[in-house]
Structure 1
Amino acid sequence: MAKVIGLGGIFFRSRDPAALGQWYATHLGLEVNSAFGGAIFAEDEARPGYTLWTPFAAHSDYLGEPAQACMINFRVDDLDALLARLADAGVWVDERREEGEFGRFGWIRDPDGHRVELWQPPG
């Protein structure tokens, strides 16, 4: 059965993502990557992929509705099968998909209306 196999990332809105990233680097030791303003946590040998911590601009539409302060990204083992099963169960599934060098992405909404990102890493 297709399922979640790990946490892919925590994404959230910030009034000043660069300053917030610097604060976390200074005070908590996060290694903030200047290419995307977030931190990458190492791959787990038992599960493919990695985990991201990323602040987004407060006005970003990537996280869904403006009232949604954060979005969780889950790593999944079979994106297509999981999205089909969720749709069959009556879960709202975004028709849009993205595919690129980092893998495949799809989105759903939970019962509270939160946008949730599902990520199948490449390979």
Structure 2
Amino acid sequence: MVDKIKAIYFKEEVSEVEEKRVTGIGGFFFKTENPKELKDWYKNHLGLNTDDYGCTFWWNDEKGNKCSTQWSPFKNDTNYFEPSQKQFMQNFRVHDLESLIKKLSQEGVTIIDEMQTYEYGKFAWILDPENNKIELWEPIDSAFL
């Protein structure tokens, strides 16, 4: 509480003092009959700059760092969203994935599989109370530049 009061008094952002968890949307993934056809439609009619994975939207965070958000259609028969049976999966950008997974586990959140690390970031998966699979991503956006 003292840290919050200091932050307000010294005009620091409270979010920098509070524990960070989700920092933004990392992506939106969904199932479709024909991903290529759908990507082409979005490219031709809405101007999305699509590739094999969908479309990457680039933006700058509050500190001016380049960040990305992914839009990706998947083939209906994908097993990537399992164990969820939903037609979509959310991806959230997070600050410190290892610490967050420990906290979520302590809070009784269902963790799926082991955390995975790649040159573009760390990934982990959880289930919400309705069994929606959520992908958590600690990004390394510079890997995409």
CA distance in 1: counterparts of 2:105 and 2:47, whole angstroms: 41
Contact 2:124 2:136 in 1 (8 A): yes
CA distance in 2: counterparts of 1:97 and 1:110, whole angstroms: 17
Q: Which residue of 1 aligns with 2:133?
A: 115
Q: Number of residues paired by the alignment?
A: 121
Structure with the higher helix share, 1 or 2: 2
Percent identical across equivalent pairs?
36
Moved over 4 A (4+): none
Q: Could you say if the C-alpha distance between residues 66 and 6 of structure 1 is closer, same or farther in structure 2, counting changes exceeding 3 Å?
A: closer
* Structure 1 segments unaligned to the other structure (5+ residues): none
Q: Could you say if the C-alpha distance between residues 41 and 50 of structure 1 is closer, same or farther in structure 2, counting changes exceeding 3 Å?
A: same
Contact 1:41 1:52 in 2 (8 A): yes
1:51-79 Cα offsets, whole Å, 9 max, x none, are 00000111111112462100000000000
Whichever residue aligns with residue 78 of structure 2, its letter is S
* TM-score under structure 1 length normalisation: 0.90
1:32-47 matches, within 5 Å, as 32-34=50-52, 36=53, 38-46=54-62
1:33-112 matches, within 5 Å, as 33-34=51-52, 36=53, 38-46=54-62, 49-65=67-83, 67-112=85-130
* Counterpart check, 1:16 vs 2:34: yes
- Tell me whether 89-98 or 105-114 shows the greater mean CA deviation: 89-98
Greater relative contact order (CA < 8 Å, ≥ 6 in sequence)? 1
Whichever residue aligns with residue 41 of structure 1, its letter is F
- Tell me whether 20-29 or 94-103 shows the greater mean CA deviation: 94-103
Q: Could you say if the C-alpha distance between residues 48 and 63 of structure 1 is closer, same or farther in structure 2, counting changes exceeding 3 Å?
A: farther
Corresponding residue SS for 1:93: strand
CA distance in 2: counterparts of 1:81 and 1:48, whole angstroms: 24
* TM-score under structure 2 length normalisation: 0.77
1:2-57 Cα offsets, whole Å, 9 max, x none, are 400010000001110000001111111111023x2x00000323366310000011
* Structure 2 segments unaligned to the other structure (5+ residues): 1-18
